[in-house]
Amino acid sequence: MSIKILNPGILSLLQDAGRFGKHQIGLTSGGPMDPLAFHWANRLCDNPVGATAIEISVGGFKMESQVDTRIAVTGGEMPVKINGQDVLRWRSYAIARGDQIELGYSQRGCRAYLAVSGGFQVEPEFGSNATVVREKIGGLNGAPLTPDAVIPCQADTQTHCWQVPDNERPHYSKHITLRVIPGYQDHSFDRIQQRLFFHNTFDVSDRCDRMGYRLTGPQVHSSIEGILSEGICLGAIQVPADGQPIVLMNDRQTIGGYPKIGSVLSLDLAKLAQLMPGDKVNFAAITIDRAHNILHLAHSRFHATSLESVDETSTQDD
């Protein structure tokens, strides 16, 4: 009972919710770059929270099912086909042994999530299945999926399917505003440097990946010439000597020595993770109390939203 990868596309990785509590031994968290899309994919398949799914970057993915099960695809706007027939994202489908599922290249957003009923069944490492290629752990041998890779999963003969309500589906934009909680080193950026940072638009450079998003724009400088390496949180905005900010993402290093002007609200990192090189970013400062309120409201909304039942015969993409 498994699925077989026919074409992994640009980059496809097995990810669960992430690897936590391991920073003290130098292991980063990993996990889905767009947690909202990841969690919706699992909910559509009636999966436990954090079940292992496939994160597909940019597209060009194709697999064949070797079991009767259910699948769902969420995230970036990649055309999805089952046995050559266009189907919708943000809903689940019952598939049979021998069915082929294909994702085209993204038209907007750059990461999609494919979940199967029960999640993909692989052996965890350090308490997680999250693939971190730099550390060579998680997933299948700590590496991206390859052609002919076989991933175990469980059978599911249930044919009842669900879809995410239209008003709960994110709309991916090429120009976003990231909310920032100023950090304890923000005093090292004088008023002029902070105005440069918060009142200008930055471009996503071609140096963006699961470790971090390097941005280009006006140079922002700190009065700190160097600091001792210290622990780094998800979303931290490092400003190296060249003055070009770097937003640290899921596969970031666990320590670093660049000054940090603040940290991006974790909820907004999903939006950043869906940007491609050349897309635009602005920053807006918020308080930590405001950040807590935003996160609590978002979590409450997600869990309070009911999925909609759908007719399994309705598969055509509109």
Q: How far apart are CA 191 and CA 117, in angstroms?
A: 52
- The torsion region of residue 89 among left (phi > 0), alpha (psi -120 to 50) and beta comes to beta
pLDDT reading at 315 higher than 60: no
Q: Judge: domain 175-286, CATH 2.40.100.10.
A: yes
What is the structure's pLDDT at 1? 86
What is the structure's pLDDT at 225? 77
Domain ranges of the chain: 2-169+306-310, 175-286
Integer angstrom CA distances of residue 164 from 40, 73, 88: 8, 11, 11
Give mean pLDDT, residues 256-267.
94
pLDDT reading at 154 higher than 80: yes
Give mean pLDDT, residues 36-48.
97
Interval 80-96: pLDDT, tens = 999 999 999 999 999 99
Mean pLDDT, all residues of the chain: 94
Interval 289-300: pLDDT, tens = 999 999 999 999
Interval 57-66: pLDDT, tens = 999 999 999 9
